[in-house]
Structure 1
Amino acid sequence: MHVFDDLDRRLIAALRADGRAPISNLARTLGVSRATVQARLDRLLDTGAVLGFTIRAREDHAEGVRAVMSIEVNGRSTTTVIRQLRGMTELHSLHSTNGKWDLVAQLRAETLHDFDRVLREVRNIEGITNSETSILLSSV
């Protein structure tokens, strides 16, 4: 496991802000040489501490319907329920949690009609005893 020092943390923060920043800009921002930035970045990638680079798009500009669903599961059914949920293409992410709800899912569907179908499919999964869904309206 990689232990981050202050320079690693500042480099990762700079890359989170702009994953396409040139090495020379990163070096200037961090107050170190280009060679130091390149060596640190290479090490972070080689050790798996940094998995890759991506873009962040504003979610409220995405097409379709987005929602968060809290799911209560009959205790012995959790593994089976998770397996069935993971098979749904509309499932964007799935998390276990504590408290009243056992799972939290982020769903995406192209249309309200598709979203309604997804809700019915989820609620019909054997082992799901209760759910609560909130449609995400806009990012703030």
Structure 2
Amino acid sequence: MSEPRKEAEKAKYSPDALDRRIIAHLRADGRASLSKLADALDVARGTVQNRLDRLLETGTLLGFTARVREDYEMDAVHAVMMIEVVGKSTTQVIRKLRGLPEVHALHTTNGKWDLVANIRASGLAEFDRVLREVRMIDGVSNSETSLLLSSV
């Protein structure tokens, strides 16, 4: 399939109720087996496999992750970074940001800032490196970062 056609398919795909139920189960248990998901959803194992393949292929489901206790990364640096993008380079900037493992979530927004990134780094030196990398991305014109000090 050609690249433009793949992109068009991704844009057209809209998850249905079963897809949303699969995603909800995976949010609760990202390691759930196909059989466990099929039993929980009362569908065939092959149906779950086909749906997962489509969710991954269309980019609806980006992958699977492990959840850890909040105190697991006691020395980790958590921050919120607001990012201003030049012109029509938002898609390119998003692609680059998604490639940084320290960017745990990325959101578009309105107002002065175009994007908001949730950043987690193992320490201040790594955090400093991530800030430099983000600011060096072509299309990033300005940013403002706030460290998250404690949860209340």
Alignment match of 1:17 (pick from 7, 28, 39)? 28
Query: In the alignment, which residue of structure 2 is the partner of 1:37?
Result: 44
User: Aligned to 2:31, what secondary structure does the other structure show?
Assistant: coil
1:128 counterpart = 2:141: yes
User: Aligned to 1:9, what secondary structure does the other structure show?
Assistant: helix
TM-score scaled by length of structure 2: 0.54
Change (3 A) 1:37 1:57: farther
Query: In the alignment, which residue of structure 2 is the partner of 1:56?
Result: 67
Q: Is the 8 A contact 1:67 1:133 kept in 2?
A: yes
Name the CA distance, whole Å, in 2 between partners of 1:118 and 1:107.
9
User: Aligned to 1:98, what secondary structure does the other structure show?
Assistant: coil
Name the CA distance, whole Å, in 2 between partners of 1:100 and 1:6.
35
Larger radius of gyration: 1
Residue 66 of structure 1 deviates from its aligned partner by: 1.6
The structure showing larger relative contact order (alpha-carbon pairs under 8 Å, at least 6 residues apart) is 1
Q: Which amino acid counterpart does residue 44 of structure 1 have in structure 2? A: R
Residues paired across the two proteins, number: 131
**Structure 2: any 5+ residue segments left out of the alignment?**
1-11
Q: Which amino acid counterpart does residue 97 of structure 1 have in structure 2? A: T
Residues 19-49 of structure 1: CA distance to partner in whole angstroms, max 9, x if unpaired? 333455444433x2xxx33022121133236
Name the CA distance, whole Å, in 1 between partners of 2:87 and 2:125.
32
Name the CA distance, whole Å, in 2 between partners of 1:124 and 1:45.
35
Aligned sequence identity (%): 53
Name the CA distance, whole Å, in 1 between partners of 2:102 and 2:35.
39
Residue 14 of structure 1 deviates from its aligned partner by: 1.8
Alignment match of 1:67 (pick from 56, 67, 79)? 79
Q: Which amino acid counterpart does residue 128 of structure 1 have in structure 2? A: S
Q: Which amino acid counterpart does residue 107 of structure 1 have in structure 2? A: I
TM-score scaled by length of structure 1: 0.57
